[in-house]
Structures are given as structure tokens and as C-alpha cells.
Structure 1
């Protein structure tokens, strides 16, 4: 039976070494980037968000070393890129209990918040309840957690949802794995969604009308992206996101010389987006 309190992909966490420089880089790709947020001293991190309709990309950096952010620091020793994927939950406590009833030791729920600069010059607070799957339950080396938004109005700010490249939602998160079938089946067990075989990989829906996860091997990655797009991609884990754009020509214009046209897509090489291929489809 599907998990009742998981509603599909909420956001991906792109972990970066230089947070402010990364925000400027993503702005140069035609994204509207939020003001910088600062998390609690326990978390020791800061972020920028890139908001779409129902989901978003979070750029996250370490501001101070803490016990809590050691897994992120360990990740950054190896690479930048997508470290975690978050699912939307409508009730973090009930979602955590649901995992525990299935024999999974959910971590949380934990409540936290961060200050938000509002477009009118005022201040607000973004508040969340989150829980995590166990750290060793990481299909394709992708950690997963769930996020309950308590103040959507301070996260989905209309002024932040319009992008020069036309991006409107995440279509797909793509994960490079030595055994993509096993990694897909692992995620399928964790979120109770079916595995669907594709020509070059294995697809797992995240739930509802939200983004899918596609797992493939090196041959599958090469089939989807030309050499110049794969430059800078990590040797495994989440290596690409595919975004819907309302104006592909506009996306190509916004990307300028960085963008690479191939087939029906225009893509940003991983070397120009913190180790992550960013691809746009109409």
C-alpha cells in the first residue's frame, strides 16, 4: 500500500562549496534566486532557493561545522551536486510513524525554521517539520527525507517563481548507478512506488504529478547527454535534473554560450552547475 503521507518530490538539495558564488552562477543561467537564508546554529548551514510551481531547487552550503552537518561535509570532500532529495509530507509525525510501522527507523520529526526577507522589505520565517529515512537507506547514493511546509507563503513567493529560462517544474531527477535496476528497486521499496523499465534505465515515480526518478548506468548517461554536457559530472549518484521550460528558445537565450542543444533539449554542462547537469525540455 502506498505511503499515505508522502506526496511526491518537494525539492532537491544541491550541496555546494561556495554558497554565494554558486547563487551567482545559477542566476547567470537565467534562474531567479531567493535572498540567502541562514539556518539555525545546530544545522550550521545556509541556502538559496530556486522556486517553481510545486517544487524547487535548494542550493545549500556549510557556514559552520556542526555534528549535524557532518554527512554534508563528507559529501563535499568528494564532489558538489545533489546530495539529498526531499519529498513533500502533509504530516511529518504521521509519516515518520508510517515508516516505523514498516520496520524503518525514521529520524525525526524535527522542527526548524529560518528567517526570510520578503519582497515588500519585511521579514518572515519559513517553518518546517522534517523526518529522514535512515542514512544507510540511500538508493543510488541519494539520501532522502520528507518536509512538511508550515508556512508555504514564505517559501513559494510569487516574485521568485518567474525565471528568464522559463523553468516551471522538475520533470525528472536522474541517478547514475552501477546497478540501476537494484537502486531503482531500493527507492521503490522505500516510498512504495512502482519501478518501470525504460529503454536506458529504470523509472520510479515520486508520487502524484511530481517528478520521477530515473536510474541508469554510464551507458544510459552517455545515451542521453553528449560529451560536452557530461563534463564535470560526478562518478555516481544524482547527476542530472530535467526541468520543464515554457520557452525553450528563451531558455537557450538565457543560457547563452553555456547551453548545449541536443535533440529536443538544451542542457547546461555539469561543470557549469556545481557538478549537476541541468537540462530543459518543452
Structure 2
């Protein structure tokens, strides 16, 4: 039975070393990137968001080292790329309590916010409550947490949801691991969603109609993406994002795009170590 208060994947955090340069790079890939945000001081981070219909990507950087962002500092010491994925929760307090019932000690809930420049002028505030699964509960090397949005209107801004590449939603988060079965079963236990085998590849739904987690080994990853696309990608951990576009021709127009079967892919070297692939739905 799916966990109460967990409603599927909410956003994927791509952690970067140079926040402004990364935002410019993703804009060149046809994404509409939000104005830069600065989180509450105890978090010590800043971000840009790339908004879709129900979910989004977050480019995250450390502005001031703090205890709260120490795991992100450690991640960046090794590489850039997908550090973690958030689930939507309708109650961070309820979700954290559910973890405790299962014998897991959550981190949080923590409340924070950030100012938001509004398209019509003026400034609003995006407010959140979040909790994290324990740091070592990281299936395939990807950490997970949950986010309760307290001000959706300052995050899902219509003007920011239209992208030149036609992106509309996150379809899959692909995680590279030596043991896809074990990593999928780990995720399955943490969120009470089934681990489903498809040959050597394993899938775990995130919940509802949101993105799936796909766990695959190096051979399956190489079969899915040519060398030119995998160049610059991690050899372990969350490695690729598959996005739904309303028109593959828009994705094909991205400089450096490579057609791979029924998908169009952007090399990891152009997107902070993340393979970005577009599919039509």
C-alpha cells in the first residue's frame, strides 16, 4: 500500500558548482529558467527552477556552507548532477511521522522559504515544509525527501511553464547501479511502490501519474544511449532524466541534440553531467 502523504515525484534536484553559468546552459537547451532564488539562511543555498505541468527541475548551488547543506557540499566534492529527488507531500509532519512508525528516523520537518520575483512586478514568497529520509537510505546512490508546497502560486507561474523545447513533464529518472534489482527493491521498501522487472532493467513508480524511477546497469545504459550522449555522465547514481515534450521536432532543434531511436537526447556534458532525453507522449 503506498505511503500516506506521499503523492509521487515532485522535483529533481540537479546540484551544480556555478549556479548562474548552469542556468545559462540549461536556457540554451530550450528551457525557460526562473529568476534566481535564495533560500532561508540556515539552508545556505540558492536555486533556479524549470517548471513543468505538475513537477519541475531545480538547479541548486551552495551559496554559504552550513550544517544543513553539508551533504550537498560532499556531493559536489565528487561531481555535479542529480543529487536527490523530492516527492510531493500533503503533510510533511504526517509523512515524517509515518517514517518513524516504520522504524526510520526522518530529518525534519524543516520550514523554509525564498523570495520570488513575480512576472507582473513585485515580489512574493515561496514557502515549503520538507522532511528527508535518512541519508543512508539512498537507493542506487540517490537521496530522497518530500516537499509540502505552502504557496504553489509562487512556484508554478504560467509564464515559466512554457519551454522552447516543448518539455511538459518528467517521465523517468534513470539511476545507474551495479545491482538494479537490489536498488529498486530498496526504493520499493522506502515508498511502498512495487519494483517491476523488465529484463535487466527495474522500474519503481513514484506514485500517482508522476515519474518512474528506472534502475539499470552500465550495459543497459550503454545500450540506451550512445557514447556521445553518455560523455560526461556519472558511472554510478542518478544519471539521466527523460522528459515528455509536446513536439519532438522542438527537441531536435536543440544544438547538439542526438536522435536515439524514438527519443532525442542531450549529452551529459551539456547539462551538468545529466543525460537529458525527450520523448513524445
TM class, shorter-length:
over 0.9
Unaligned runs of at least 5 residues, structure 1: none
User: Which 4+ residue blocks in structure 1 deviate beyond 6 angstroms?
Assistant: none
Task: Give the deviation of 1:200 after TM superposition.
Answer: 3.8
Q: Which residue of 1 aligns with 2:21?
A: 21
Tell me if 1:262 matches 2:265.
no
Q: Which residue of 1 aligns with 2:175?
A: 175
Q: Which residue of 1 aligns with 2:76?
A: 76
Task: Give the deviation of 1:65 after TM superposition.
Answer: 1.1
Task: Give the deviation of 1:71 after TM superposition.
Answer: 0.8
The residue correspondences of 1:5-44 to structure 2 (distance < 5 A) are: 5-44=5-44
**Alpha-carbon deviations, 1:178-235, whole Å to 9, x = none?**
1111000000000000011013410000000000000000001011101100000011
Q: Which residue of 2 aligns with 1:2?
A: 2
Contact 2:2/2:207 (8 A) holds in 1: no
Task: Give the deviation of 1:279 after TM superposition.
Answer: 0.2
Q: Distance in 1 between matches of 2:156 and 2:41?
A: 24
Q: Distance in 1 between matches of 2:124 and 2:198?
A: 44
Contact 2:180/2:200 (8 A) holds in 1: no
What TM-score results when the alignment is normalised by the length of structure 1?
Answer: 0.98
Q: Which residue of 2 aligns with 1:251?
A: 251
Q: Which residue of 2 aligns with 1:281?
A: 279
Task: Provide the aligned length of Structure 1 versus Structure 2.
Answer: 280
**Alpha-carbon deviations, 1:25-65, whole Å to 9, x = none?**
00000000000000122111100000000000000001111
**Alpha-carbon deviations, 1:120-161, whole Å to 9, x = none?**
111000000000000010011100000000000000000000
The residue correspondences of 1:76-225 to structure 2 (distance < 5 A) are: 76-225=76-225
Task: Give the deviation of 1:108 after TM superposition.
Answer: 1.1
Report the 3-state secondary structure (helix = DSSP H, G, I; strand = E; otherwise coil) of the residue aligned with 1:145. Answer: strand
What TM-score results when the alignment is normalised by the length of structure 2?
Answer: 0.99
